[in-house]
Amino acid sequence: MSWLVRVCATLGPLELDVDLCGDARPVALVGPNGAGKTTLLRLIAGAYRPQAGRIEVGGRVLFDAAAAVDLPPERRAVGYVPQGYGLFPHLGVADNVAFGLRARGHSGGRRAARLAAERMLDELGCASLAGRRPTELSGGEQQRVALARALVVDPAILLLDEPLAALDASARRQLRRFLADHLRRRARPSIVVTHDARDVLALEAEACVLDAGRVVQRGTADQLRRAPANDFVAELFGG
Amino acid sequence: MSSDLGTPRRPASARVRIDGLSALSGGLAVVLLALLVVPVVALALASSPADLVAGVRDPLFAPALSLSLRTTLVSLLVVVITGTPLSWWLASSRLRLASVVALLVDLPVVIPPAVVGVALLETFGRRGLFGPELHALGVSIPFTTAAVVLAQVVVAAPFFVQAATNAFRKVDLDLLVVARTLGASPGRAFLRVAVPVALPGLLGGAALCWARALGEFGATLLFAGNLPGRTQTMPLAIYTALESDIRAALAISLVLAAVGVALLFVLRAAPGALSRERRLRGVSARVGRS
């Protein structure tokens, strides 16, 4: 299952000009603050409209400026987990996870959607959280719930914005392992924004360095460590 | 010098300097506070229970209360239905037009209510902007209950729109992006995510708006008149009662003041209590887990 993101977009001070493609292996998006990482995820999700380009996931065209194709976010089959997880504060954990099922008119109504949500939570090892409120969860728990919510509608591509940044060291280690396992088993495209070289290694991801809206280098953590394209890469991968 | 440990010097000396100022400023503050509070206390002390009963039985009281409740609920409904989409647009639009519109919405706040009344007459009155068209349709708005509602809507709407716009601005964009990627249409994302997340701010705005509509006097008097049962709302009934039976004026005043105090409590105390309660629930849940 392959994907392709070729976008040109000017959003405020940022000029994004990116040409990326990948397969089922995770891609780790790294780069300094303001490089356009979050913006790129939101462009793929359909929150912003690029001026030009084409976005394709698994042979399905989500956006094509030339062909005037621009699917709205709800038809893109994109799983988006923003920085800070974006759990709906007014809904309980189970209702957060069931949100996508209900929005899509899940067959079987409310109860079936809730059961499916609970199964998904169980699969991610957090069935016990179903009755909680998002405000009562630790960072790691919020991350798992956000992941369950994104995965329950079976997206074609998963976009994770700094999934481990807000966690303390031990939770980060634990969740990193969990995420690496899950992405490997799922074997579907995913793009993970991170500031941590250890994430790139653990996820066995191809790293893609974004700077000032452009891709400046791609490669495995090892390749980037040996031949860093700039100081940022050198510092990040400890070359 | 050991006595200085734990009490850093600078804050202490800073406090002394502020204390020096506060003798004067404190006195001024007390004068203002007295001006704000004493009249309300005086109002509460003004009537005996017997006077109150007499006031409530006054023929002015019941129709004015009923009219005020009916008209303010209709105008609140009109403001919420029309103001919510406007606020959403104001909160999410980056166009320069939006800031111009926000300024226009604030106009009735800075224009005196009596002037709003005259302006409404110049719009809907017989010789007003739409006068000929309305006359041709056989519709006459001034000095009707509809005029009361219109006056209340114009004067009170800015309070709701301001509060709702602020509340919508605080809704995290990512929440909406997530809702959309999960399959929600723009309308569903708005109703199921933006509105519930902004709800405390929306309710606060609605409460302020209702309070302002309930107290509307100037625009109503000029545009709708003071006709018992048709346009005589509670503030206008106070005005009339002062000339006949002050007990009725006091009774109506007390009702309006009590509503105001209740709304103030809901606006200021309730959100704090709510978040305290949420925190407590959160803490007990965390304790229960360990």
Stretch A225-235: mean pLDDT? 89
Reading the block at residue A208, the tokens are 């893609």
Q: Say how far apart CA A83 and CA A164 lie, in whole Å.
A: 9
Q: What is the DSSP letter of B264?
A: H
pLDDT-derived band at B50 (thresholds 50, 70, 90) equals confident
pLDDT value for A171: 85
Q: What is the mean pLDDT of chain B?
A: 86
Interface contact flag, A42 B177, Cβ < 8 Å: yes
Of the candidates A88, A103, A133, the beta carbon closest to that of B188 is on A103
Domain count, chain B: 1
Residue A10 β-bridge partners: A15
- Interface check A222 vs B, CB under 8 A: no
Chain B residues whose beta carbon lies within 8 Å of the beta carbon of residue A110: none
Q: Tell me whether residue A24 is exposed, middle or buried, using C-beta atoms within 10 angstroms of its C-beta: 0 to 12, 13 to 18, 19 or more.
A: middle
- Per-residue pLDDT at B19 exceeds 70: no
pLDDT value for A85: 93
Interface contact flag, B199 A90, Cβ < 8 Å: yes
Interface contact flag, B177 A90, Cβ < 8 Å: no
Q: What is the mean pLDDT of chain A?
A: 91
pLDDT one-digit tens code per residue, B129-154: 998 899 899 989 999 999 999 999 99
Q: In the sheet where A190-193 sits, what is the strand order?
A: A69-70, A60-64, A52-57, A3-11, A14-22, A214-219, A206-211, A27-30, A190-193, A157-161, A78-81
CB contact at 8 A, B147 and B230: no
Superfamily of domain A3-87+137-237: P-loop containing nucleotide triphosphate hydrolases (3.40.50.300)
CB contact at 8 A, A5 and A62: no
Mutation site, A99, A138, A154, interface B, largest B CB count within 10 A? A99
pLDDT one-digit tens code per residue, A45-77: 999 999 999 999 988 999 999 999 999 999 999
Q: What is the DSSP letter of A155?
A: -
- Interface check B132 vs A, CB under 8 A: no
pLDDT-derived band at B13 (thresholds 50, 70, 90) equals low
CB contact at 8 A, B43 and B250: yes
CATH number of B168's domain: 1.10.3720.10
Of residues B54 and B210, the one with the higher pLDDT is B210
pLDDT value for A146: 95
Q: What is the ipTM of this complex?
A: 0.93
Chain A residues whose beta carbon lies within 8 Å of the beta carbon of residue B192: 99, 103
pLDDT value for B131: 87
pLDDT value for B275: 58
Chain A residues whose beta carbon lies within 8 Å of the beta carbon of residue B181: 45-46, 73-74, 76, 78-80, 150, 155
pLDDT value for B283: 44
pLDDT-derived band at B183 (thresholds 50, 70, 90) equals very high
CA–CA min distance B197, chain A (Å): 6
pLDDT value for B118: 96
Q: Say how far apart CA A177 and CA A134 lie, in whole Å.
A: 23
CB contact at 8 A, B144 and B91: no
- Contact pairs from chain A to chain B, CB under 8 Å: 82
Stretch A159-171: mean pLDDT? 89
Reading the block at residue B103, the tokens are 């300024």
pLDDT > 90 fraction of chain A, expressed in percent and rounded:
63
Reading the block at residue B224, the tokens are 């709708």
pLDDT one-digit tens code per residue, A73-131: 999 999 999 998 999 999 999 999 999 999 988 777 888 889 999 999 998 888 999 99
CA–CA min distance A27, chain B (Å): 20
Q: Checking DSSP bridges between strand A52-57 and strand A60-64, what pairing results, if any?
A: antiparallel
Give the H or E element holding residue A18.
strand A14-22
- Interface check A62 vs B, CB under 8 A: no
pLDDT value for B2: 41
> Which residue do the tokens 């070359």 mark?
A239
Domain range annotation of chain A: 3-87+137-237, 89-136
For chain B, how are helix, strand and coil distributed in percent, rounded to 5? Answer: 85, 0, 15
Backbone angles phi, psi at A219, to 5 degrees: 160, 180
Mutation site, A135, A159, A193, interface B, largest B CB count within 10 A? A135
Of the candidates B180, B188, B197, the beta carbon closest to that of A90 is on B197
Q: Is A15 left (phi over 0), alpha (psi -120 to 50) or beta?
A: beta
Reading the block at residue A108, the tokens are 């079987």
Reading the block at residue B109, the tokens are 């706040």
pLDDT value for B285: 42
Q: If you measure CA to CA, which chain A residue comes closest to B184?
A: A103
- Interface check B197 vs A, CB under 8 A: yes
pLDDT one-digit tens code per residue, B222-266: 999 999 989 999 999 999 999 888 888 898 899 899 988 888 888
pLDDT-derived band at B55 (thresholds 50, 70, 90) equals confident
Containing structural domain, residue B255: 56-271
Stretch A140-151: mean pLDDT? 92
- Interface check B285 vs A, CB under 8 A: yes
